[in-house]
Amino acid sequence: MLYTNFAGYIKSVQMERITLKDKTFRIFIPYEDISAAIDDVAVKINADFEGCTDFPVLLCVLNGSIMFMGELMKRLKFDCQIVSTKLSSYEGTSTTGKVKQAMGLTADITGRRVIVVEDIVDSGNTIVELKEILKEKGAAESRICTLLLKPEAYKKDVKLDYVAMEIPNDFIVGFGLDYDEYGRNYKDIYVLDK
Q: Which CB contacts under 8 angstroms, 24+ apart, belong to 75-79?
A: 75/38, 75/39, 75/42, 75/46, 76/42, 76/45, 76/46, 76/49, 77/46, 77/50, 78/46, 78/49, 78/50, 78/51, 78/52, 79/55
Spot the catalytic one: 33, 108, 122, 188. 122
CA 19 to chain centre: 22
Strands of 122-166 (E only): list them.
Answer: 141-149, 162-166
Query: Among this protein's residues, is 122 annotated catalytic?
Result: yes
Burial of 163 (0-12, 13-18, 19+ CB in 10 A): buried
Residues annotated as part of the active site: 122
